[in-house]
């Protein structure tokens, strides 16, 4: 297990092929105890062993160090893991209910997910007018994903778990999340409606190239 972005001791870094690190065998376990030295921020964890296979099967997640003071100003704090998979056994343009195997050894992905789900099964982000929303984006997989918001601009508040000083924060509506990166963005909900929030690569907005919008795509939904 690799603690991505965290300044932990070398023996706990989790790359057993090159470091003195625990190699956790199937049906085995290892307890980690943390003394956090990094400042609050968005980090990740993932396998770093047989990486091309295990990482592309989805073995990773978020490791978030919360700031108990700053977070009081945030009404909604979301994390979205961006992932992509090659599902075997479907012709291009075909989506059928069933259970399928994943091929981790490909560059040809056909399903693109936010927190493990494709539109229409992604979770909408609900907000109320005037609320402050933070979205933490993370990516440990193959492609970069330029994530775009509709109807709003956002501030880019942190990069790889490190807070960006206010005077250096960019105002954007698309942020490219490359493999290994986390980005925190923040916006004020000032424009009511149902707004797309999605990867801007067209193929990543489909499910196996089917026509209805799908893939790495969710919505920001105002409750009032």
Q: Using CB under 5 A as the criterion, which residues of the chain lie in contact with Cu ion when the complex forms?
A: 145, 199, 201, 204
- Asked if residues 205 and 215 have their Cβ atoms less than 8 Å apart, the reply is yes
Minimum CB–partner distance for residue 27 and Cu ion (Å): 35
Minimum CB–partner distance for residue 215 and Cu ion (Å): 8
Minimum CB–partner distance for residue 18 and Cu ion (Å): 30
Minimum CB–partner distance for residue 200 and Cu ion (Å): 7
Nearer to Cu ion (CB atom), residue 4 or residue 204:
204
Q: How far is CA 168 from CA 25, 127, 163, 171, 173, in A?
A: 45, 27, 10, 10, 16
Minimum CB–partner distance for residue 199 and Cu ion (Å): 3
What DSSP designation does 204 have?
G
Give 27-76 as a 3 state SS string: CCCCCCCCCCCCCCEEEEEECCCCHHHHHHHCCEEEEEECCCCHHHHCCE
Task: Give the tokens for residue 94.
Answer: 């075909």
Nearer to Cu ion (CB atom), residue 13 or residue 55:
55
Are β-strands 76-85 and 132-139 bridged in parallel, bridged antiparallel, or unpaired?
Answer: parallel
Tell whether omega for the bond before 112 is within 30 degrees of 0, i.e. cis. Answer: no
Nearer to Cu ion (CB atom), residue 44 or residue 80:
80
Nearer to Cu ion (CB atom), residue 134 or residue 145:
145
DSSP-H helix ranges across 94-179: none
Nearer to Cu ion (CB atom), residue 14 or residue 58:
58
């Amino acid at each position: 297990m690799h603690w991505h972005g965290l300044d932990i001791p070398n023996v706990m870094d989790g790359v057993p092929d090159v470091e003195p690190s625990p190699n956790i065998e199937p049906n085995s376990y290892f307890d980690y105890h943390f003394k956090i030295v990094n400042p609050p921020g968005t980090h990740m964890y993932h396998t770093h062993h047989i990486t091309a296979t295990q990482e592309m099967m989805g073995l990773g997640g978020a490791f978030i160090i919360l700031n108990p003071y700053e977070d009081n100003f945030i009404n909604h704090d979301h994390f979205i893991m961006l992932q992509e998979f090659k599902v075997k056994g479907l012709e291009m343009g075909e989506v059928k209910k069933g259970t399928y195997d994943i091929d981790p050894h490909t560059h040809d992905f056909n399903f693109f997910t936010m927190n493990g789900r494709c539109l229409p099964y992604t979770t909408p982000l609900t907000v109320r007018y005037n609320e402050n929303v933070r979205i933490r984006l993370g990516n440990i997989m193959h492609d970069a994903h330029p994530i775009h918001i509709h109807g709003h601009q956002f501030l880019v508040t942190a990069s790889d778990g490190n807070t960006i000083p206010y005077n250096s924060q960019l105002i954007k509506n698309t942020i490219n999340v490359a493999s290994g990166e986390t980005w925190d963005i923040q916006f004020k909900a000032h424009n009511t409606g149902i707004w797309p929030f999605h990867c801007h690569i067209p193929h990543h907005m489909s499910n196996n190239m089917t026509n209805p919008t799908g893939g790495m795509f969710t919505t920001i939904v105002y409750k009032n």
